[in-house]
Amino acid sequence: MKPELVALDLDDTLLSPDLSISDLNVDAVARVLDEGIPVILASGRTIDSMRSYARQLGIYGRGLPMICVNGAEVRDTDSETVLRRLALTPHACRMALSVLLDLGLPAQAYEEGLIVVSEHNKWTAEDGRLTGLGIRLAEGNDELATIPRSKLIASGDPALISQVYEEVRLRLAGIAHVLISKPCFLEILPPGADKGEALAWVAAGMGVAREAVMAVGDSGNDLGMLGWAGIACAPADARPDVRAIARHVSVRGHADGAVAELLDRFVFDHP
Per-domain boundaries in the chain: 5-85+193-267, 90-189
Strands of 177-180's sheet in order across: 134-137, 114-117, 108-111, 152-155, 185-189, 177-180
Q: Return the number of other C-beta atoms located less than 10 Å from residue 52's C-beta.
A: 11
Per-residue model confidence (pLDDT) at position 271: 60
Right CATH for 5-85+193-267 from 3.30.360.10, 3.40.50.1000, 2.120.10.30, 3.90.1300.10 = 3.40.50.1000
Confidence bin at 141 (pLDDT 50/70/90)? confident
Residue 269 has pLDDT above 90, yes or no: no
Tell me if the pTM is above 0.85: yes
Q: Which top CATH class is 90-189? A: alpha beta
Residue 94 has pLDDT above 80, yes or no: yes
Per-residue model confidence (pLDDT) at position 62: 96
